[in-house]
Amino acid sequence: MKIVVDENMPLSDAFFSGFGSLVYKAGRLITRDDLLDADALFVRSITKVDQRLLEGTKVGFVGTATIGVDHIDQRYLTKQGIACASAPGCNANAVVNYVLTCLLELEVSRGIDIDAAQVGIIGLGNVGRRLKASLETWGVKVVACDPLLDPRDVDGLVSMEEVLQSDVLSLHVPMVKEGAYPTHHLLNYKRLKNLRQNAVLINTSRGSVIDNRALRRVLADRSDLSVVLDVWENEPILDRELASIVDIATPHIAGYSYDGKVKGTEMVYQAFCRHLGLDVSITLNDVIDHALDVTLDPVVLENKGKVVALSLVSAAYSVMVDDIGLRSTLKQPREQRIAAFDQLRKHYRLRREFSTISVRNKEWMTSIMSKQDLNRLHAMGFCV
């Protein structure tokens, strides 16, 4: 059996080598020629899997180690009898970590009062639900909209119009261009222009959920808005001017924790076993590298007040490192920027989810922290 694998899928060898020969390729460079004699294809979000890629090949199974599937032409795969599996929720905790970290950064850099804010969440899938729960543990008021859910079953569901008037708006929807509830350019010029004064806008879903040109126009007139973009229209080419004026700009890495990526690989492995009618014989605990476990020393906690929580969070994961990395590429020529965007993702540093991180001297640390900070850290998954 021959399996073509995106080289950025961690632990692929540990999970899949027993099935046959593995061929590793950069996800954006996988071609039809690579798949002519392949039995299976394992990808991440940057590989467009459609008729052009698969026609005339032997591929009978496609697995994507991602929560989204808008890069997969599922209609074509179904028509051809090609099985497909994704990894819903695999990196949901990582995305929640990212969003909450960004809020702490903006609280300090822009003076935003998160405690007094209403946070609006568009999309209550795996990520949206977990973000809602974490924020409510913070004590923040949360409203949400999701037309696919019944308001009688979920607390806090309101109309899109009410969510759009929130102080903080976080987007967690798939890319849908057709049907009853399309999300392409869900936030258009009119909606962006009418955002609440001093609003915060965060997008970690798909770049085209926001009309990027419209957002650039709005930001030219509204310096009161704070914007965090991890996803962009036309990736890996992005609007350089827009990237230069948003508050936090990162290269589609919100869900790029080590834990989320290896969970995605495990979920694809499990689906492949089911496809082949085999028992699952390998667990994540069997193959995960515990040498990568992280223990923090709270020596960074030198200040008191709200910065204390941010200090510990930044020691675990500094979103501003990702911001600096992307901004450093913006003045490069087009082809170099394309390569640089992919390199930032391919060579992404080790990032562990907060729930996996140990903290030394917890008794001392908790003695100098406010109840608010401790509550926030608990809600973010830290064991303190």
- Active site members: 206, 235, 252
**Amino acid at the residue 155:** D
Question: 61 — phi, psi (to 5°)?
Answer: -150, 135
- Please, where are the H alpha helices in the chain? 12-16, 32-35, 51-54, 74-80, 92-109, 126-138, 160-163, 189-193, 212-221, 240-245, 258-276, 284-287, 307-316, 319-327, 334-346, 362-368, 371-379
Non-local (6+) Cβ contacts of 205 within 8 A are: 123, 171, 172, 173, 174, 175, 183, 231
- Kindly report the backbone phi and psi dihedral angles of residue 121, in degrees, each rounded to the nearest multiple of 5, phi listed first: -115, 125
**Measured between alpha carbons, how far is residue 45 from residues 49, 179, 205, 336 in Å?**
10, 22, 12, 21
- Of the candidates 338, 268, 209, 218, which has an alpha carbon nearest to the alpha carbon of residue 42? 268
Asked if residues 65 and 44 have their Cβ atoms less than 8 Å apart, the reply is: yes
147 preceded by a cis bond (ω within 30 of 0): no
Gap between the Cα atoms of 95 and 331, Å rounded: 28
* Cα dihedral: 255, 262, 352, 348 (round 10): -60
Please state the φ and ψ torsions of residue 11, each to the nearest 5 degrees: 65, 20
Amino acid at 104: L
CA angle 182, 81, 47 (to 5 degrees): 55
CB 226 within 8 A of CB 201: yes
Please tell me whether residue 293 adopts helix, strand or coil conformation: coil
319 with 102: CB under 8 angstroms?
A: yes
Cβ atoms 280, 270 nearer than 8 A: yes
